[in-house]
Amino acid sequence: MNSTFALTILDELLISDVVEKWALYRDAGDWERFRRVWHEDGYMSATWFQGPAEEFVEASRRGMAQGVSILHFLGGTAVEAVGDRAVAQTKMTISQRDTVHGVLVDVLCTGRFYDFFAKREGQWRIVRRQPIYEKDRMDPVRPGTVPDLDEAVLASFPEGYRHLGYLQTAAGFEVRDGLPGLRGEAVERLYREGRDWLAGSRLPGAVPRIAD
């Protein structure tokens, strides 16, 4: 077998393994292992958080301790790699349970994790994670109970994370607007940043506090 091809397959497997461990360790509350999937300058962007990975780990830890229920389910992963850099896209679903207007609900948001990877000292780890939010829905946990949603507030959130944004705002989170969806300028910009990363850009997109 061609050695270059074998190395590429191995790298793809190692990157996919990191993606899977991110979800498993984060949802299990295994914070020390969760830290290891990031490089020390890693950056996380989500509806409710934007900042360094270490701060995201601590925010997630505090949230879980306070009863915040957010889980992640993964599908397939596709990897593009050039040298010691890679971009991975992974199908995923974010599931959050909370009370909205007195009704216990689950919000399911389907999309992709778009991850910027770097290989340093032989280790593939994440330097930036940006979810792409494609569509979502809200379901009552108890059949027959329906929350009375404010349609104007609901419509104020982007289509891809409309119900997730509504729930998180009701729970006291500050939800960021303009995150990438299935189509539009935000996701096209993200794709450009991914291509630039593979081509050798100093930073993995427009993110602060990250050194190449």
Helices within the chain (DSSP H only): 3-28, 31-35, 53-65, 151-155, 162-170, 185-199
Task: Please say if the pLDDT value at position 5 is more than 80.
Answer: no
Residue of 98, 118, 87 whose CA lies nearest to 192: 87
Per-residue pLDDT band for 161 (boundaries 50, 70, 90) equals very high
Residue of 40, 175, 188, 11 whose CA lies nearest to 96: 175
Residue of 93, 107, 120, 102 whose CA lies nearest to 39: 120
Residue 147: both structure tokens together: 């929350």
Distance CA 127, CA 158 (A): 26
Distance CA 66, CA 162 (A): 24
Angle (CA) 95-30-54 rounded to 5° is: 85
Q: Are 92 and 19 in contact (CB under 8 A)?
A: no
Percentage of the chain modeled with pLDDT above 90:
92
Instruction: For each of the domains in the chain, give its residue range(s) and CATH number, in order of start.
Output: 3-199 (3.10.450.50)
Percentage of the chain modeled with pLDDT above 70:
94
Q: Are 144 and 113 in contact (CB under 8 A)?
A: no
Distance CA 166, CA 104 (A): 13
Distance CA 75, CA 112 (A): 9
pLDDT 10s digits, 61-116:
999 999 999 999 999 999 999 999 999 999 999 999 999 999 999 999 999 999 99
